[in-house]
Structure 1
Amino acid sequence: MAKKEQSATRRTYLKSGLAVAAGGLLAGCTGTSGEETTTDSESTATATSTSEPTTEQTTESADDGDSYTVSMAPMGNVEFDGVPETIFTRLTHHAGMAFALGHGDAVNAMHAPDYYDALWNQFVARLDGVSLDWSGLYSSWEPTKEKLYELDSDVHLADPASVAALGSWGEEDLEEIEQNVAPWFGNTFSDRHQSPPEEWADDYEYYTLWQIFEKVAQVFQAEARYDALATVHDDLVQTISSNLPPKDERPTAVMLGTSDFETIYAYDANHPGYLTAHTRPLGVQTAFGDDFESGSTVDFETLLEADPDVILSLGGMHPTTDMVATRKAFNDDPVGSKISAVKNGRIHAQGARYQGPILNLFQIEMTAKQLYPDQFGAWPTYEEGPYPEIPVEEQLFDRQRVADIINGDF
């Protein structure tokens, strides 16, 4: 299947209208334990293709039941008979895209749904008129064919190469589900520009988060919603880039996964891929040297040697994460307490790295404030609860505008 130039489902999965649902919810992924399972299980470390992916419009009109085609690596051209009404996902960047397009309640599966439902609702709380409930969905990290037949989804919004990388799925299994249930459509290894399985390498391309989102919007015939959200995102990034301090005045920073302090994962905030779509635009200085491998485990001694000015704690906004205890663990350690970020009270909570476009907007804003309070307003010392209330005059993007786009009222 990876070698096919055209990959079209043989199943007509929409029997009636093409109306796009107007209601919406929120979605996304990462944090601590759930996120580490995701990133570490799926791949090896080096890039395969550096070609620039095309983002030109590739859909045909779907009016009156006409089929249309959307193209994205690694699937190639994928034919749709109508706008999907039920959506299988594995990782929350894809689920978050469905949510942003007003189809969040159509998601029927995702990795660690209860964990990410709780985390994402911390952000959804700041979008009036928008709700999210992913609790109790099928946990789809390693799905079975039997379950996919049972779910009978209209699209598998998941990267078939990443499913193949699990080891329990062969090419014939992927083709069977594509032909008998619904097509695959997704891109995962753009997360850190990782290598897909060898048999998929020739067809693979790397995309930004918003390039993948543009393709997913074409699947749902929701290009207007994409354009509106992309404008919000572009304006946000422009606001930040035009107000950044000179490079030599920017702090050093590192993202940490600290589900326990025996094993601390450290991530480069400037690493290529959509996992850093909220930190890379901020132009922060890296705390580690050029030879540091993002995702490595570190201890307090290694962190002190790097001595970051800011520590971004992944999953810190999850309701079960105790940020007070996290800060205390650093302050109580004789080595950790010497790190500049610890001494200066700059350990900040983060959300998720497998972020959809809506979470990306919030995380760009929050990280800008965490890194550059003088330029963008101070981030409150977060301990618990939803995304903090930010005074309107200090918000970097319009929440109501985003909520209206999700709900189709724009």
Structure 2
Amino acid sequence: MYKMERRDKGGIISRVIDRVSKIIYKGVIILARVFSIILINLGNFIAMILRFFFNILKPFIHFFVKFTVSIQYKLGTFFPSNIKKSFENTLLYAGITRNSEKILGMAALYSIILPITAGIIGYFVFKLESKMVILTAIISFVLVWIIMYMIISSLIDRRTSSIEKTLPDMLSLISQNMIAGMTPYNALWVSARPEFGPLAAEIQRVAKDTLAGIPLDEALINMTKRIKSEKLERTVKLMIQGMSSGGELPTVLQGISKSIQSEQNLFKKMQSETSAQAMFILFSIIFGAPLLFAASSQFIRIFSEIFSQMNLEEVSYTATMHAGLTIRPIPVDYEFFVTYSIIVLVTLSFFGSLLIGLMKNGKLTSGIPIIPVLIGLSIAVFFLLQILLSTIFSGITNMGAVS
């Protein structure tokens, strides 16, 4: 009987627990549905409000866009014709088909807006002096043009490296197609595969020019005017010389392809040999320099706090009388040294990136893409090390004060 009563009680308890758990589960599901409905309706309401304001502001946005575009074109027309022509050739090297006047006008517009904005923020927010405001505006103006030059140079280098990397395979494929009996036009057109990237588009353009009646040598020379590559220029010259001297074009292309491949293999070997130096430069910029500046800034902060709690006149007088020493306060302020450290780290990251690009690819401009990465990492490591060293030194100073 006792066992049966225990079983009945256990069964009742288990059934109660099951019912309670089911009720709780259903309640959670109901609450989840309610919250989901609320969130969906809230999202729809916010989207409706944004759509309403967008419809109101849509005419103003269109007017502002048209106004800025017209200003860009007008500003671009003020540049001399030789500058516009030179910049147009630079855009061709980068593979940009936009109007040079529009891009120059856009940069000019930003170089006007950014200095004015920086000057207003510096004067009203940071309360800078008039000389510092003018200096900030000048730096902002110069930065706009430097950033534009860096972006275009990076695009040119990326396009050139992509073309030079696929050039030997393209030449070998054209040679094989011509050996198979194709005409130069068909060999060029068939060889322009999508995997060759920008070079395929240029080869297709050469094929179209030859189909339109332009001689092959002239079409190839025009291609070199759109690509900033010494290897491609040298290749085209050798091709034209081989054709004019009566040599077989497939044999010439095969020889040029093998020569470029051997040159690329030699360059890869040089890259592997200079990788250790590049890693040392990266370590110095990302960790070495931030560690030195963080430690120095903490020493300046600690000694400034110590000297602020001392009567330097009495200590200096006592040290002069007994030991012939003169104690003076630290002439460098902590905030000034932090600002100085950031400026030096930015400068080191800038020139270090260019040096790494020169060591790895033989071009200074190839290091431009890693400039913002190195600047961000070096400054972030600097502040992290400052926090770490501040925690360590504060513990040491507290122990010294207690003792």
TM-score (norm 2): 0.19
Structure number, greater radius of gyration = 2
Where relative contact order (Cα < 8 A, 6+ residues apart) is larger, the structure is: 1
The structure with the largest helix share of the pair is 2
